[in-house]
Structure 1
């Protein structure tokens, strides 16, 4: 697994979580700028998904199993977009809380992906 990409994705997810958490603290819903941040984090997760699948296709193996690794990759990719859609439905501070929680979840998934790969 490409460790630098995992670290960058986790840090970006935590920054998004802090940013949306600050918006929730100020009683604000998610705004266009938050969605741009979500898009950046989602692109990082997509790049990670592609890199992970390419490495598996090359014959490299995840230490704890390929199926669980791919499941975590897909879950990490879908985490922030799902929260973004939920925040569109909830146009209060709780939409921001949802995205902040998704950022934290994505960071935790990055740590778990690192462990599954054999880090």
Structure 2
């Protein structure tokens, strides 16, 4: 697992969470630029998914099991898009808060991925 990619994804997810949390504090729904930020974070999670699958294909094994590692990879990739989709249904401050919660969840999933790999 690439530690730098895990850290970058976690930091980007927490920055997105802070940004959307501030928008919720200001009583604003998610805007277009929030969705651009979600796209960047999702792209980082996609790169991590690809890197994880490639490492598994090369024969490297996570310390705590391949199945749980792949499940966490898929979950971390789907976390922010799912929160963004739910924020479209709630065009109030609660939509922004949903994306902020998705960013925090992604950061926690990244820490868990690092632990599963054997970090």
Whether TM-score is above 0.5 comes out as: yes
Measured after TM superposition, the shift of residue 39 of structure 1 is 0.1
Given the alignment of the two structures, is residue 13 of structure 1 paired with residue 13 of structure 2, yes or no? yes
Q: Structure 2 length as normaliser, TM-score?
A: 1.00
Aligned residues between the structures: 119
The normalised TM-score by structure 1 is 1.00
1:80: Cα distance to partner? 0.1
Q: Deviations over 1:71-102 (max 9, x none)?
A: 00000000000000000000000000000000
What's the offset of the Cα at 1:27?
0.2
Please give the root-mean-square deviation of Cα atoms over the aligned residues, in Å: 0.2
Per the alignment, residue 56 of structure 2 pairs with 56
Mapped to 2, the partners of 1:4 and 1:63 lie a distance apart of: 19
